[in-house]
Amino acid sequence: MPAPSRGLAAEAYRRITDMILRGTLPMGAPLQEARLGAALGMSRTPVREAIARIESEGLALRHGRILRVGDLTPAEVEGIFVLRLDLEPFAAEGATGLPAARLDAMEARVRALLDARSAEDLWAVDNDFHAMLAGAANNRAVAEVIADLRRRTTMFDHAQVPDRYRLGCEEHLGILDALRAGDGAEAAARMRAHLERARDAILARMREVRAHGPEGRPA
């Protein structure tokens, strides 16, 4: 089972990013451990871990000693996916040489998520899945760029776009099936479709949030 502190940090991350998305924490607002901990009813440790993750993803920027909320606009999301749609299908196409044991191990982790019998966080499995394919290209620069681009949109996890949880897992399994069959072109096509659906879900979520104020009323 995940460590309690890790679970609390993940919960703090989800709740703080939701506050950022909804405008409860607007662009430029300071991210203060004590204040956020009091608002969330949590100690400072999980909040500190959540804030560090938010900063690493580029959603918060330091101004002197103060960390403030940045912003991720729909145009930036589209730009991120333009690059991912170039790089990740390319990486998937070249991943047919991955050992069957690695494909099987990843499939087992994804199926455990689908069957609700996994102790792992979806983000961890999703991250490892994409990193495995990116690394198969044996191009460190490509793998690092993909990892950085993915970090920018990890705030949109299944808590933000819940419809993508099961669908995303099933799409991962489809990509693994293509790789196991040695069909790089099909793996690339399935990766492209997977990314396009993720992009569309994120943009729809952003439109929904921007159409409604922090309390869920039309803005």
Q: Are residues 60 and 163 in the same domain?
A: no
217, part of any domain? no
| pLDDT(4) > 90 | no
| pLDDT(23) > 80 | no
> Residue 194: its pLDDT value, please?
97
- Provide the domain limits for residue 22: 4-71
First to last CA, the chain: 41
Q: Are residues 53 and 106 in the same domain?
A: no
37, part of any domain? yes
Question: Counting runs of H as helices and runs of E as strands, what totals does the chain give?
Answer: 9, 2
When pLDDT is averaged across residues 105-112 and rounded to a whole number, the result is 96
> Residue 219: its pLDDT value, please?
42
Q: Are residues 87 and 192 in the same domain?
A: yes
59 vs 13: which has the higher pLDDT: 13
139, part of any domain? yes
**Phi/psi class of residue 193: alpha, beta or left (left: φ > 0; alpha: ψ in -120 to 50)?**
alpha
Q: Are residues 62 and 146 in the same domain?
A: no
Token pair 């991912």 in the structure block, residue: 84
> Residue 218: its pLDDT value, please?
42
CA-only gyration radius of the chain, Å: 18
Query: Structurally, how many domains does the chain consist of?
Result: 2
Which of 37, 71, 105 lies at the terminal end of a domain, its last residue?
71
> Residue 155: its pLDDT value, please?
74
> Residue 46: its pLDDT value, please?
95
| pLDDT(5) > 80 | no
- The model's pLDDT over 165-202, given as tens digits with 9 standing for 90+, comes to 899 999 999 999 999 999 999 999 999 999 999 999 99
215, part of any domain? no
Q: Are residues 55 and 89 in the same domain?
A: no
183 vs 27: which has the higher pLDDT: 183
CA dist 148 and 23 (Å) reads 24
For 200, the token pair is 């569309």
When pLDDT is averaged across residues 139-151 and rounded to a whole number, the result is 90
Q: Are residues 164 and 189 in the same domain?
A: yes
Q: Are residues 83 and 176 in the same domain?
A: yes
DSSP lists the bridge partners of residue 149 as none
Which of 17, 40, 71 lies at the terminal end of a domain, its last residue?
71
